[in-house]
Structure 1
Amino acid sequence: MSKAQIDLANLDFSCTYSFEEFELINEQLKTRSLEVNGQPVNLFDLDKNGKLVPMPQATHCMEVTVGEIVRQLGNWNIQTRQNGDVKTAQGGFDFSVGGQRTIRAPDVSFTPKAISRQLTELQRWTFQGQPFTPTFVVEVGDSQSSTSAFRELDDKFKREYFAVGTSVQLGWLIDPKNRRIWVYKRNKHGNVYHRERVWEDVEGGDVLPRFTLKMLMIEEAISQESSESSSENEELQIDCPECDTTFSDHYTFMEHYTNEHACKRRRNR
């Protein structure tokens, strides 16, 4: 089916769409805008029945939170040489829920190299290969935006991300507006459970070894305020532990260390 055969202005949400049609619709949304029930939409998921699920655009602070989580997770991925894949909601996964293929795009996800390096070209570039899923997922949202908001998010974790047969081992539901965190895991019997955490740093445990999400950094990203004192903004002298280069600010040092040392180690492995 060609792009011309799919009219974004007249999508029928009661109809079933194929994977090829689903991909064409999302491809068009990269350069076009669409409103569904008064909400701007730039991405669709596909449920187990082949129905389109609109994904409304995130508000400013929610998307800033996603960006900060991706930044911290990406730095950890490089610095600890995980060599895995960090993805945002622009990258969907082909979940198999109840025996039916379902396309879902978590706000943030991590797929370890043991999975990503085994993917075929069909799996990498389309949704038509064998289903595969990440080991870690994050949803960022307002759990109190409506009476059903938390239930809908909770169901997404329990019924889809942690469905039988998926690789997901850890999930975080993060609500920066109301400062709430829920952690999702499987127990020894494979059943999914969640626990609410206080609004403080949360660790990745065995799924994300040595990773800790710093909530203060999320708060600073949202508020655009820095916790650095005036003395910390004075000129510094930072010596690279790997070479003889000296830097006068943290950003340049981190960029140098990542590009010249951490990334080179990854390429040489």
Structure 2
Amino acid sequence: MPDVAYTPRDTDRGLSNESTWMYRGEPFVPTFVVEIDKLSGRGSQYSALDRKMRDEYFQHGVQLGLLIDPRPDFQRMYEYCLDDNGDVQCSGNSAWRDLDDGDVLPGFRIRSVVLEMALNQDLGSSSEEVDFACPERGCTKRFRSRGAWTAHAEWHREERAIAKYLES
């Protein structure tokens, strides 16, 4: 079972409860899966999770997969997808980065800073905590870390860009 699994809403809307376990005679599988574990260094689970991604998830219909190691000194992410021939490909880029998987899930984006914040909520000591107020007019949010404040400021920037796009 993956750590995260996602199926677009329109995929299972018309399925009965029984059909959500079986679809077209096969076990129902999500479109997107994520495994979060140690992917490098001592105790690495990379090889086992790479095989699981290729031999289990994609063989049963998964279309997009991520392996993520969120540890601060070892941050890595591997993206799996199907190529034009239907073969499973793992991106050669393991760098910690933003991901935009528009082909499989149009509009879906994972921002690395938000992912890092979510996966490492216990990072930082109380001596590092500060009090940041959002500078946007009308926004009253406050933050205790630079990362959270930065991610929130980026959200405001995106919202302005979307509003501007929709106006044109």
Fold agreement, TM-score > 0.5: yes
Aligned equivalents of 2:28, 2:96: Cα separation in 1: 32
**CA drift at 1:187:** 1.0
Query: Among 187, 197, 200, which residue is 2:97 paired with?
Result: 200
Instruction: Report if aligned partners of 1:201, 1:212 keep a CA contact under 8 Å in 2.
Output: yes
Distance 1:176 1:237, change over 3 A: same
Which string of whole-angstrom CA distances, capped at 9 and with x for unpartnered residues, describes residues 96-139 of structure 1?
Answer: xxxxxxxxx21111111232113222244xx5775211111111
Runs of 4+ aligned residues of structure 1 deviating over 6 Å after TM superposition are none
Question: Is 1:173 the equivalent of 2:74?
Answer: no
Instruction: Report if aligned partners of 2:31, 2:62 keep a CA contact under 8 Å in 1.
Output: yes
How many residue pairs align between the two structures? 132
Aligned equivalents of 2:111, 2:32: Cα separation in 1: 17
Question: Is 1:110 the equivalent of 2:6?
Answer: yes
Aligned equivalents of 2:43, 2:133: Cα separation in 1: 45
Question: Is 1:152 the equivalent of 2:48?
Answer: yes
SS at match of 1:197: coil
Which protein is bigger by CA-based radius of gyration?
1
Q: Tell me the amino acid that sits aligned with residue 184 of structure 1.
A: Y
Q: Mark the runs of 5 or more structure 2 residues left unpaired by the alignment.
A: 143-168
**Cross-structure match for 1:214:** 111
Q: Tell me the amino acid that sits aligned with residue 175 of structure 1.
A: D
- Give the TM-score normalised by the residue count of structure 1: 0.43
Cα RMSD (Å): 3.1
Q: Tell me the amino acid that sits aligned with residue 201 of structure 1.
A: D
Query: Among 50, 69, 82, which residue is 1:186 paired with?
Result: 82
Which string of whole-angstrom CA distances, capped at 9 and with x for unpartnered residues, describes residues 143-198 of structure 1?
Answer: 136566211000000000110xx331111111111111101011111111101331
- Give the TM-score normalised by the residue count of structure 2: 0.65
Instruction: Report if aligned partners of 2:2, 2:34 keep a CA contact under 8 Å in 1.
Output: yes
Aligned equivalents of 1:147, 1:108: Cα separation in 2: 21
Q: Mark the runs of 5 or more structure 1 residues left unpaired by the alignment.
A: 1-104, 239-247, 251-269
Q: Tell me the amino acid that sits aligned with residue 160 of structure 1.
A: E
SS at match of 1:218: helix
**Cross-structure match for 1:141:** 37
**Cross-structure match for 2:162:** none
**Cross-structure match for 1:50:** none
**CA drift at 1:208:** 2.0
> What fraction of aligned residue pairs are identical, expressed as a percent?
35
